[in-house]
Amino acid sequence: MSWNLGAGIGRFTGELAKQAGSVDLIFSNWLLMYLSDKEVVEDLAERMVKWLKVGGFSSLESLVFINQVFKECHMSDDFGNSSEFSLITFKCVGAYIYWLWQKVIRKMTRGSNVSWIINNKEFVTKLDLKPSQKVLDVGCGIGGGDFYMAEDFDVEVVGIDLSINMISIALERAIGRKCLVEFEVADCTKKRQARVVQSFFKWLKPGGKVLITDYCKRAGPPSPEFQEYIEQRGYDLHDVKAYGQMLKDAGFCEVIAEDRTEQVQIIHQVLQREMDAVEKNKTNSFKTFLKWEDYNEIVGGWKSKLNRSSSGEQRWGLFIAKKN
Ligand SMILES: C[S@@+](CC[C@H](N)C(=O)[O-])C[C@H]1O[C@@H](n2cnc3c(N)ncnc32)[C@H](O)[C@@H]1O
């Protein structure tokens, strides 16, 4: 069942309220701009998560970022199962932001977030940060690590990322926070990884440290499939030992180079569970919203990622080094 919210909201809300958990897709076009923040937060988002079936989708457009509001929406059913919205995708087109959310059982998305938080906290602890130090986060994404460092260690952080979408969300998340974090859209690319670490060395003060987590490859020549993937993505991948050597060659000392692939595999297990759930659901709501080409591209991308990880060719390295 699919509902289009808009003019009919007043007539149908009473009816909808009786049918919690019955809708596959909620489609809302040109509605959110007529609602106040309070109405979106307290009324619509909460009702939507109730109306949808687990696995059902909500497609909306808005003029402002509403991700925080949607992420904070939870509900528990009579059997104690807790659900929430998970962001599938969003796209900025002109002044509008188009969103696709899915209602999921809460622990599914939590697993991956928790893994990331645990990993990042462990890594940041290794830096021994002191108040007022300046941190540059290259490829900061939506800024989670930056808020954590600024708020818990009282450091000043500049986060840069290539993606306008990532930085927009990071900026929105910064609103109201009392910590020293700035975000900017910037491309650090020098194509060759060795040139990037040379830049890091140049930017640091004497005594400054670098912490990098990055994709790596297994030592030795890659398989033809993996080589094709590397070329298609334009990656410059090294094995963990060679990456450490690259840091030493750039002038860094006290270099730590560790293979942390197993830590990422926990996240991949969560991805596998989420993918199985989406696959199970594909014949109904997903099919009605996305074109098959898009669906196959998304699921195909996830599957290839899992294959690369289980074959052991794609590695994940943690590197820490100091500039004397
Ligand atoms: C895997 S995400 C990691 C995000 C964040 N650091 C975290 O730990 O959650 C990698 C990020 O690097 C950004 N990125 C990729 N290439 C970049 C480049 N050349 N310059 C700056 N950022 C880049 C991507 O847009 C993406 O947000």
How many Cβ atoms from other residues are within 10 Å of residue 125's Cβ?
A: 11
pLDDT score at 109? 38
User: Does residue 203 share a domain with residue 321?
Assistant: yes
Q: Between these two residues, 192 and 246, which has the higher pLDDT value?
A: 246
84 has a pLDDT exceeding 60: yes
**Same domain membership, residue 197 and residue 177:** no
Helices (H), 35-98: 37-38, 46-51, 67-71
Average pLDDT over residues 12-40: 66
- Mutating to test ligand 1, I would choose from 161, 168, 189, 214 the residue with most ligand atoms within 8 A of its C-beta, which is 161
* Closest protein CA for atom 17 of ligand 1: 162
Query: If you search the block for the tokens 């209602």, which residue do you land on?
Result: 103
Whether 84 is in a domain gets the answer yes
| Mean pLDDT, range 269-292, rounded to an integer | 66
Report yes or no on 183 lying in a domain: yes
The per-residue pLDDT for range 124-133, each reduced to its tens digit, is: 888 889 999 9
In a domain, 119, yes or no: no
Rounded CA-CA distance 304/229 in Å is 10
Mean pLDDT of 291-298: 71
Please give all residues whose beta carbon lies within 6 A of any atom in ligand 1, as ranges.
Answer: 138-141, 144-145, 160-163, 166, 187-189
Distance 51 CA to ligand 1 centre (A): 35
Question: For residue range 93-102, what is the model confidence (pLDDT) as tens digits?
Answer: 776 777 788 8
What ligand 1 atom has the least distance to the C-alpha of 189?
19
**Residue 210 shares a structural domain with residue 322:** yes
Q: Which domain holds residue 16?
A: 2-105
For every residue of 140-168, DSSP letters joined together read -TTSHHHHHHHHHH--EEEEEES-HHHHH
How high is the mean pLDDT of the chain? 79
Q: What pLDDT score was predicted for residue 130?
A: 93
For residues 207 and 298, state if they share a domain. Answer: yes
Residue 110 inside a domain? The answer is: no
Looking at the domain assignment, is residue 307 inside a domain? Answer: yes
Q: Which of 166, 187, 208 is the last residue of a domain?
A: 187
Evaluate whether residue 112 is within a structural domain: no
* Number of domains the chain contains: 3
In this structure, the answer to whether residues 79 and 143 fall within a common structural domain is no
Output phi, psi for 257, to 5 deg: -130, 110
**Model pLDDT, residue 27:** 78
Domain contains 15 = yes
